[in-house]
Structure 1
Amino acid sequence: MGVSVACAVLLAAGCSGGGSGEPAPRGRSGTPGSTTASASAPPAKGSVKVVKTVATGLDSPWGLAPLPGGDLLVSSRDTGKILRIDQDSGTKTQVGTVPGVEPGGEGGLMGLAVPPDGEQAGKWVYAYFTSASDNRIVRMVYDEKREPGDQLGAPDVLLKGIPKSQIHNGGRIAFGPDKMLYAGTGESGDGRLAQDRDSLGGKILRMTPDGEPPGHGNPETDSVVYSWGHRNVQGLAWDADNRLWASEFGQDTWDELNLIEPGKNYGWPDAEGKGGGKRFRDPVEQWHTADASPSGIAIVRGSVWMAGLRGERLWRIPLKGAELSARPQAFLKGGYGRLRTVVADHGTGGGGLWLVTSETDGRGSPEKGDDRLLRVEVR
């Protein structure tokens, strides 16, 4: 059940387990497999160590948003609750329940984001969720001085009309370095919506913190649509040169990591994976769906770190500029089950991640203690 001596010796070569003093909870051994520095590429081979299980017993966790002081907010997809987790003790405190959430299938309360800096840092919580009629993005005042369970203000709907279904609801939201709010959406199982410029489904959206078109930087000044031709965007992250990267579920053959540019078409449903032709942007890298089914991504130490659901592994994708500098590597293979969300942990000198498992989402095999929030050191 613990990490073997051989694994500890070979960690830098890609073998991985629970890390020092942290046994892998499932007794599954790791095997090698896949923040962008512009000046030089990261090493071809990296390492991963789970240094602490911060919290256990999370119910269908999905979104994860660090607060300015270092604690984290986590959303529960199926209950509509938001919890605050103390980064040191792992103590869980209910912040509140988001009204209007209608969970079902892959839908529910999904992505979370908080303004990263300035006067509004930590004072608002943004959420992406499935309602009775659509997927939508809301903003709520967050007052941590109020009683636990009653710290969220009434939701202010910033954007509605994103198509909903039992599948392909997208759900990831994040603030970019330009202080704009980005959202990854799904095409709700209707591939035609991904190519429909008038639909919000199968897109990456870019908007002001008030939910309005930015007026500049988007393909059309009166639209929040930033890119299209996506099947189901699950991860958003920016590298050191402010390039946007996105992970995306494939259908039967290829999952994708894409470099996102405004106004570009990423091919779905006419293309899956590479080789889509001149009309479409090919992914920078692709994986068979059994090896990935990617969800969240983060960029740390010059590499994209991508959480895998069906693949049950954490992929390291080292970059140099807009290209791969080496082959992707896989860590934690099967050791913690399905992996949903990964976020940069800036409190560890830029070399850490927060990682959330996803065994209680109806598709996993939960064991005692699931789901978990892990603190991970990476190189």
Structure 2
Amino acid sequence: MRRSRRSLILACLLTAAITASGCAPSVPQEAVSTRAASPTATPSPTAVSTPAAQARWRPAGAPTTLATGLVAPWSIVALDTGGVLISERDSGTVRELTPGGELRTAGVVPGVVSGGESGLHGLASWRDQASGERWLYAYHGAADDNRVVRMPLLGDAGALSLGDAQTVFAGIRRANTHNGGRIAFGPDGLLYVSTGDAQNQDAAQDPDALGGKILRLTPEGAPAPGNPFGNAVWTLGHRNVQGLAWTADGEMWASEFGQNAWDELNHIVAGANYGWPVVEGEAGDARFTDPVVAWTTSEASPSGIAAVGDTVFVAGLRGERLWVVDITPSHAADPPTVGLEGQGRLRDVIAAPDGSLWLLTNNTDGRGTPRADDDVLISLPLAPAP
């Protein structure tokens, strides 16, 4: 029963990714507005997580396991043509979950050098509307830096492979910890890249340094038009951003690891300074933008985030729970609630094409307690909040 249920769900997700409708009640669809300058390239249909009417959402049922046996997974990406790709940090491998529910290797990103918290991190997909080419973008640790590369995505769902890698953006400082690594295409069709301070705290306050930032790039890797400092930097004053997402109104959100006191969920505004290393958590200092939510580090260690309607879902590593945060019309946040526990460390969460959430556990990364099937990809149904 369990396997047939999983196969049915995966077949449904494949259809959903192509038709934007699912087997479960789907999230209502509407256009997503943008709060950034127009790109030089046409936005990709895979650039935005499943858009939703402005509403608040809640987990609405038990999680279903879609894949098992992942090793230190880090990022999930759903493709517009169907299919699911997952990055594995330490090996540099990109795994495909086929419509039949099997895991296979789509390819290995060349030049990945793992160690400490570094390795293969975030994935994002993009389609060039002029040529029709599909690309898989990846953020990874290399021998001397962190960088973003892209590879042609070849084949059909169930038999995907990666073409030759092209470097998109390089020279981001790497270290044993604080490497950032989340990437995502925004509603404006531009590439957003999170970097950590890489143990050089002063870099976070320097608008000319790449560490401790959110960057905004064209798909080809140039600083995007309209960036506030005339370079690749979009925001500064970050310690280690791990999640990026946009609510239905087009506003941007990011999760961030604190040091010893406070983890953060931040409302991202071009040119804003989020305070690190001068402040951690809420400071009440007019020079800096305070987080909309601050957790103790034992409660969260927030990694990937997903936005559906007006709700942001935050995957917690050390906290081992999924936080549910409703965003108010003023872009503050109502008190967060817990949406899921009992899966161990949670590394990533995305809004799936069928209106559910997909989540990655991260119990095999050396800091968790692996269970027999770990790590796993699970599906969690959603419903509008009462």
Common fold: TM-score over 0.5: yes
Which position in structure 1 is the counterpart of 2:187?
177
Which position in structure 2 is the counterpart of 1:194?
204
CA contact (8 A) 1:68 1:121 kept: no
d(CA) in 1 for partners of 2:372, 2:331: 41
- Once the two structures are TM-superposed, the CA of residue 210 in structure 1 deviates from its matched residue by 0.2
Which position in structure 2 is the counterpart of 1:214?
224
Tell me which of 79, 82, 96 is aligned to 2:107: 96
CA contact (8 A) 1:219 1:262 kept: yes
Letter in 2 for 1:83: R
1:177-204 Cα deviation digits (max 9, x unpaired): 0000001110011211101112110000
Mapped pair 1:131 → 2:142: yes
1:263-320 Cα deviation digits (max 9, x unpaired): 1110000010012401100001110100000000001142100000000000000112
1:75-124 Cα deviation digits (max 9, x unpaired): 010000101112x5321121111111000011000000001684677711
Which position in structure 2 is the counterpart of 1:307?
315
Which position in structure 1 is the counterpart of 2:174?
164
Mapped pair 1:344 → 2:351: yes
Q: How does 1:56-71 map to 2 (within 5 A)?
A: 56-71=68-83
d(CA) in 1 for partners of 2:52, 2:65: 32
- Once the two structures are TM-superposed, the CA of residue 146 in structure 1 deviates from its matched residue by 12
d(CA) in 2 for partners of 1:371, 1:260: 31
Q: How does 1:103-122 map to 2 (within 5 A)?
A: 103-115=114-126, 118=129
Mapped pair 1:78 → 2:90: yes
- Once the two structures are TM-superposed, the CA of residue 40 in structure 1 deviates from its matched residue by 6.5
TM-score, scaled relative to structure 2: 0.82
CA contact (8 A) 1:214 1:224 kept: yes
d(CA) in 2 for partners of 1:361, 1:84: 19
- Once the two structures are TM-superposed, the CA of residue 332 in structure 1 deviates from its matched residue by 2.2
Which position in structure 2 is the counterpart of 1:23?
none
d(CA) in 1 for partners of 2:251, 2:203: 26
Instruction: In structure 1, list runs of 5 or more residues that go unmatched.
Output: 1-34
1:25-61 Cα deviation digits (max 9, x unpaired): xxxxxxxxxx999996637xx4443342000000110
Which position in structure 2 is the counterpart of 1:4?
none
Which position in structure 2 is the counterpart of 1:371?
375
Letter in 1 for 2:140: F
Which position in structure 1 is the counterpart of 2:270?
262
Tell me which of 65, 71, 81 is aligned to 1:53: 65
Mapped pair 1:142 → 2:153: yes
Which position in structure 1 is the counterpart of 2:56?
42
Which position in structure 1 is the counterpart of 2:39?
none
- Once the two structures are TM-superposed, the CA of residue 215 in structure 1 deviates from its matched residue by 2.2
After superposition, the Cα gap between the structure-2 partners of 1:277 and 1:336, relative to the gap in structure 1 and judged at 3 Å, is same
Residue-pair matches, total: 335
After superposition, the Cα gap between the structure-2 partners of 1:236 and 1:322, relative to the gap in structure 1 and judged at 3 Å, is farther
Cα RMSD for the two superposed structures: 2.3
- Once the two structures are TM-superposed, the CA of residue 245 in structure 1 deviates from its matched residue by 0.3
CA contact (8 A) 2:207 2:229 kept: no
1:301-348 Cα deviation digits (max 9, x unpaired): 421000000000000001123434532101322x110000001112x2
After superposition, the Cα gap between the structure-2 partners of 1:336 and 1:146, relative to the gap in structure 1 and judged at 3 Å, is closer
After superposition, the Cα gap between the structure-2 partners of 1:170 and 1:54, relative to the gap in structure 1 and judged at 3 Å, is same
CA contact (8 A) 1:94 1:148 kept: no
Tell me which of 258, 281, 287 is aligned to 1:279: 287
d(CA) in 2 for partners of 1:343, 1:120: 27
Letter in 2 for 1:131: A
TM-score, scaled relative to structure 1: 0.83
